[in-house]
Chains A and B, each alone.
Chain A
Amino acid sequence: MTTTTLLPLEAVDVPAPPAGRRMRYGLADTATLTLRELYIWFRNPAFIFFTLIQPVMFVLLFRYVFGGAIIVRGGYVNFLMPGIIAQSAAFASFGTAISLARQLQKGVIDRFRAMPMARSAVLLGRLVADTLRLAVTVLVILAVGYAVGFRFHNGALPAVLMVLLGIVFGVTICTVSAYVGLAIKDEESVGSFGLVWLFPLTFVSNAFVPVPSMPGWLQAFAKNQPVTIVIQEMRSLALGGPLALHAWQSALWLAGIIAVFVPLAVRAYRRAT
């Protein structure tokens, strides 16, 4: 019911749509924007390169160029694969940050926000599309890994859990990158310096070399940072080893990062215009 007023310049009341419809539209909008992101990804050679070709290159480089010089128990290729999956998953978040910054810069996001669609759908659609993208990257890396000698040694269920942990880890890093992209709002700056933190985070870890091979001062960081802990857990899942301690630590780290960066990203998204 709208109220009839005598004063013509009294604002009219617009009743909010029922919660059920809002929910349905919210889901539909998220699906639409996910689809849109996937279309864009498929049509963009640079994105294809970053999500498919670059990770494969890394696998081959580390396996054959550095692999010979690094001696670890169980063989380097088995040591390498969980690490390279985590590293590639983290690097996939470049796409998140860059495309959010670009859409903000171009006014696409403003346009969406002036439309009667769920505001959360822009971020959610992005995240769902990135999750799918990540999953593809991880599976391609695994396939290449198998071709160059990697094998799971701990059974099917832990293997599936390792893949899932890799994807969840990647999505978690995506929330950080989403915040960076929305806060910096400039595609070029994001691409050139917005994501440099990814390099120390992934390389100063146990992803490619055992931590004890690093100098002492670096070990302190490398041993305790989340990427190392997640990779440790992934290795235990893939190859066998103690699971419980690193499972808890991984869960806490990932939950903590999400708890900090999702609200930050949402706030940056609300403010950015």
Chain B
Amino acid sequence: MTGGRPAETWHGPAIFVEGVHKSFGDVQALCGIDLVVERGKVLGLLGPNGAGKTTAVKILTTLLQPDRGRALVEGRDVVRSPAGVREIIGLAGQSAAIQEELTGRENLEIMGRLYHLDRPTRQRRAAELLERFDLADAADRPTKGYSGGMQRRLDLALSLVAQPQVLFLDEPTTGLDPRSRLGMWGVIRELVSAGTTLLLTTQYLEEADELADEIVVIDHGRVIAAGTARELKNRIGGDILEFAVVEPTRLGEALEAVAALADAEPVVDRETGRLSLGVGDGASDALVETVRRLDALGIRTEGLGIRRPSLDDVFLALTGHGAEEPGNGTDAGRPRAGRRH
């Protein structure tokens, strides 16, 4: 590793955060966060806009100081030895921090210079990364002309120039189209299989599900749930069966008929006549049974189907409110489920 001394004496987790508080004026961004990430694992930090995800990443990457509590990266204290932390971390952010007048290769080689790699090493590293991130063809073109997905891939490559032991990715796919998102996932998965410890923040449950060994859900600066994707989904009832009743007067009747199929309290939207029930992993049985029961009663439905739980469902289940706070409208293309007014 080029990231300085290995932490020989450190046998603890790669990331250890204990009781971290941070406020900006009157706004409490973090109110006592605890996090543990074992070496080589992936933690997905999941939460809506303004939950405190970015603040947590900024504290762990030494960009902000916590007001209280402590944070260690490979045993190095972010407040007491920030320089030591910077030697072993990589950071890729929400917005691609590439310089668009420069080519992909120039961006990478300048990064190599800033990590004090010698010329042959940084040239080799740049070539390797361009190859690995599928940017070799565009290597010598100014990055201004890169697509959104290419820019994010280059951005990620920049954070890997010095082969960091711990990598922080702050919403690596926010704003990307679905195809580029899949591409990023592939790249990240490959990275993780090589043994890098990764902390990833995201607004997408699906993304945390795909990439993370463990998920921590935060809201208003507090950890509200932690566990594997499976554990979390079981907590919110796995898959969700949803339909609307055509005649609103029969909503109560429909609810009564199917309530027993749900493994939690069904969510009812009286305005639109929509019913959502968590059905665990028995989705297809529940679907057949629902059709049978409603048909027997002669209740007509619209848009009957099964979907995977969204971040909104997680929030609904965990906090009783949706992930979307009023006035927070920057999420790109996420389906808005379970929305109530």
The residue among B4, B84, B158 with the most chain A CB atoms within 10 A of its own CB is B84
Q: Considering the chains assembled together, what is the distance between the CA atoms of A107 and B110 in angstroms? A: 16
Q: By the criterion CB–CB under 8 Å, are A11 and B76 in contact?
A: yes
Number of residues on chain B facing chain A (CB within 8 A)? 45
Q: Considering the chains assembled together, what is the distance between the CA atoms of A9 and B34 in angstroms? A: 14
Q: Which of B81, B95, B106 has a CB less than 8 Å from the CB of A107? A: B95
Q: By the criterion CB–CB under 8 Å, are B114 and A29 in contact?
A: yes
Q: Considering the chains assembled together, what is the distance between the CA atoms of A16 and B85 in angstroms? A: 12
Number of residues on chain A facing chain B (CB within 8 A)? 35
Interface stretch among A80-88, A111-119, A223-231? A111-119
Contacting B at CB under 8 A, from A93-109, are 106-108
A8 shortest CB reach to chain B, Å:
5
Q: By the criterion CB–CB under 8 Å, are A25 and B116 in contact?
A: yes
Q: Considering the chains assembled together, what is the distance between the CA atoms of A177 and B90 in angstroms? A: 31
Asked if A2 meets B63 with Cβ closer than 8 Å, knowing A28-B113, A43-B101, A117-B114, the reply is no
Q: Which of B4, B101, B116 has a CB less than 8 Å from the CB of A40? A: B101
A265 shortest CB reach to chain B, Å:
18
Chain A residue numbers with a CB within 8 Å of B149 are none
Whether, in the assembled complex, B321 has its beta carbon less than 8 Å from a beta carbon of chain A, the answer is: no
Q: Considering the chains assembled together, what is the distance between the CA atoms of A114 and B73 in angstroms? A: 13
Whether, in the assembled complex, B80 has its beta carbon less than 8 Å from a beta carbon of chain A, the answer is: yes
List the A residue with the shortest CB-CB distance to B111. Answer: A115
Q: By the criterion CB–CB under 8 Å, are B81 and A114 in contact?
A: no
Q: Considering the chains assembled together, what is the distance between the CA atoms of A35 and B101 in angstroms? A: 13
B22 shortest CB reach to chain A, Å:
12
Chain A residue numbers with a CB within 8 Å of B8 are 2
B177 shortest CB reach to chain A, Å:
21
Q: By the criterion CB–CB under 8 Å, are A16 and B83 in contact?
A: yes
Whether, in the assembled complex, A44 has its beta carbon less than 8 Å from a beta carbon of chain B, the answer is: yes
Chain B residue numbers with a CB within 8 Å of A43 are 101-102, 142
Whether, in the assembled complex, A5 has its beta carbon less than 8 Å from a beta carbon of chain B, the answer is: yes
Q: Considering the chains assembled together, what is the distance between the CA atoms of A2 and B8 in angstroms? A: 9
Q: By the criterion CB–CB under 8 Å, are A107 and B97 in contact?
A: yes
Interface stretch among B10-18, B43-51, B184-192, B232-240? B10-18
Chain B residue numbers with a CB within 8 Å of A9 are 12, 16, 72
Whether, in the assembled complex, B157 has its beta carbon less than 8 Å from a beta carbon of chain A, the answer is: no
Whether, in the assembled complex, B337 has its beta carbon less than 8 Å from a beta carbon of chain A, the answer is: no
Q: Considering the chains assembled together, what is the distance between the CA atoms of A35 and B111 in angstroms? A: 12
Q: Considering the chains assembled together, what is the distance between the CA atoms of A144 and B89 in angstroms? A: 51
Whether, in the assembled complex, B93 has its beta carbon less than 8 Å from a beta carbon of chain A, the answer is: yes
Whether, in the assembled complex, A221 has its beta carbon less than 8 Å from a beta carbon of chain B, the answer is: no
Contacting A at CB under 8 A, from B1-38, are 4-5, 7-12, 16
Chain B residue numbers with a CB within 8 Å of A44 are 101
Chain B residue numbers with a CB within 8 Å of A8 are 10-12
Chain B residue numbers with a CB within 8 Å of A14 are 4-5, 76, 81, 83-84, 87
List the A residue with the shortest CB-CB distance to B11. Answer: A8
The residue among A3, A11, A12, A111 with the most chain B CB atoms within 10 A of its own CB is A11
Chain A residue numbers with a CB within 8 Å of B12 are 8-9
Q: By the criterion CB–CB under 8 Å, are B9 and A12 in contact?
A: yes
Chain B residue numbers with a CB within 8 Å of A12 are 7, 9-10, 74-76, 84
List the B residue with the shortest CB-CB distance to A25. Answer: B116
Q: By the criterion CB–CB under 8 Å, are A40 and B99 in contact?
A: yes
Q: By the criterion CB–CB under 8 Å, are A40 and B102 in contact?
A: yes
The residue among B64, B99, B114, B158 with the most chain A CB atoms within 10 A of its own CB is B114
Whether, in the assembled complex, A213 has its beta carbon less than 8 Å from a beta carbon of chain B, the answer is: no
20 additional contacts (CB under 8 A) given A12-B84, A39-B106, A107-B97: A4-B9, A9-B16, A12-B75, A14-B76, A14-B83, A29-B114, A32-B110, A35-B110, A36-B102, A43-B102, A43-B142, A108-B99, A110-B93, A110-B97, A111-B91, A111-B93, A111-B97, A112-B114, A113-B62, A114-B91
- The list of the 8 closest CB pairs from A to B, nearest first, reads A14-B84, A12-B75, A43-B101, A11-B77, A14-B81, A114-B61, A111-B97, A116-B86
